């Protein structure tokens, strides 16, 4: 795999943006290997993901972002993020007691499906240490007291770890604690959660029991970026499975697990491939 630059941008829609930017890359000897764009005509916003090979590209890596912002920031109102495919995202996993999402992500990682590094797994319980050990990944436990009296302290320790390990994004793989606003603000659109319902139905605790009580015929799972409002962040991926009156809360939990792990892993993959743009509490997912 050759080294590439990946540019994600959005700006007010106007004629000629695509030509400008593709011309800029081509003129500087960049070989474009991916281009996908989308115009939100309701809001009048242009979104693009463009990727080009760096071999022979005339602008050095560390100047690309600055030049693009300078050339197109004021003129077009472009806001952009730049990534390089050879700089792997560093993912921290937060878990609690359930292993299905953790196993699923680690099995993909081990099989080479997820192009990330996993410097640490964080939990408030010892329960899943054996999984971390199976895969040789450091496992850190900070117990949060029931009265949450040590929560600030715990999060400070976690933040310290994340910084030390240069973590670029966090995956809450059925982590049952609420993340504080501080931590959320430190990782904007960089904390991925899996909620075990078809949001916005059944926000909050015990969604499968809520679904059972309501008598729905389909249940779902939702992966979203964490914002300061509970279960209300930009949705990345959802999926559903059909159920019947024969299902009990327990069988819903079991069926839901398969949804959760598949939906979470799809969301993580899209994030790792830098194919997600967020805008106005929604996601644009490039193909």
Closer residue to a second copy (CB): 122 or 216: 216
Please state whether beta strands 235-242 and 276-279 pair in parallel, antiparallel, or not at all (unpaired): unpaired
For residue 231, indicate whether it is catalytic.
yes
> Residue 216 Cβ, how far from a second copy at the closest point, in Å?
6
Among candidate residues 231, 239, 247, 250, the one labeled active-site is: 231
- Map tokens 């994340």 to a residue: 162
- Is residue 206 within 8 A of residue 223, CB to CB? The reply is no
137 binds a second copy (CB under 8 A): no
Number of C-beta neighbours around residue 143 at 10 A: 11
Assess contact for 105 and 93: CB atoms under 8 A.
Answer: yes
Q: Does 22 bind a second copy (CB under 8 A)?
A: yes
**Contact string 140-179 vs a second copy (x = CB under 8 A):** ----------------------------------------
Count of residues near a second copy by CB under 8 A: 65
Of the candidate spans 74-82, 139-147, 157-165, 243-251, the one that interacts with a second copy by CB under 8 A turns out to be 243-251
Q: How far is residue 11's CA from residue 72's CA, in Å, rounded to a whole number?
A: 9
Of 175-204, binders to a second copy (CB under 8 A) are 198-202
Q: With beta carbons less than 8 A apart as the criterion, state whether 190 and 212 touch.
A: no
3-state secondary structure 56-67: CCCCCHHHHHHH
Does position 56 interact with a second copy (CB under 8 A)? The reply is: no
Which residue stretch of 1-9, 36-44, 162-170, 174-182 sits at the interface with a second copy (rule: CB under 8 A)? 36-44
Q: Are strands 169-172 and 117-123 parallel, antiparallel or unpaired?
A: unpaired
**Does 31 participate in binding a second copy (rule CB under 8 A)?**
yes
Q: Would you please indicate which residues are annotated as catalytic (active-site) residues?
A: 231
């Amino acid at each position: 795999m050759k080294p590439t630059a990946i540019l994600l941008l959005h700006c007010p829609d106007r004629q000629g943006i695509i030509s400008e930017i593709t011309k800029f890359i081509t003129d500087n000897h960049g070989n474009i290997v991916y281009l996908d764009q989308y115009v939100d005509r309701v809001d009048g916003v242009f979104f693009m993901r463009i990727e080009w090979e760096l071999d022979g590209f005339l602008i050095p890596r560390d100047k690309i972002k600055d030049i693009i912002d300078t050339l197109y920031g004021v003129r077009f109102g472009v806001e952009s993020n730049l990534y390089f495919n050879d700089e792997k995202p560093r993912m921290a996993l937060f878990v609690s007691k359930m292993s299905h999402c953790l196993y699923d992500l680690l099995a993909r990682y081990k099989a080479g499906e997820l192009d990330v590094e996993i410097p640490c797994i964080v939990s408030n319980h010892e329960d899943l240490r054996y999984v971390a050990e199976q895969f040789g990944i450091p496992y850190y436990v900070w117990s949060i007291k029931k009265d949450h009296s040590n929560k600030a302290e715990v999060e400070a320790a976690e933040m310290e770890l994340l910084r030390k390990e240069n973590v670029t994004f966090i995956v809450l793989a059925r982590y049952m604690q609420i993340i504080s606003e501080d931590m959320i603000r430190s990782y904007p659109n960089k904390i991925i959660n899996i909620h075990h319902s078809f949001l916005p139905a059944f926000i909050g605790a015990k969604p499968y029991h809520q679904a059972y009580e309501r008598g729905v015929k389909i249940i779902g799972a939702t992966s979203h970026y964490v914002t300061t409002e509970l279960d209300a962040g930009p949705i990345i991926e959802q999926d559903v499975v059909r159920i019947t009156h024969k299902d009990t809360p327990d069988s819903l939990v079991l069926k839901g697990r398969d949804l959760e792990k598949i939906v979470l892993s799809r969301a993580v993959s899209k994030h790792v491939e830098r194919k997600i743009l967020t805008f106005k509490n929604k996601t644009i997912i490039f193909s």
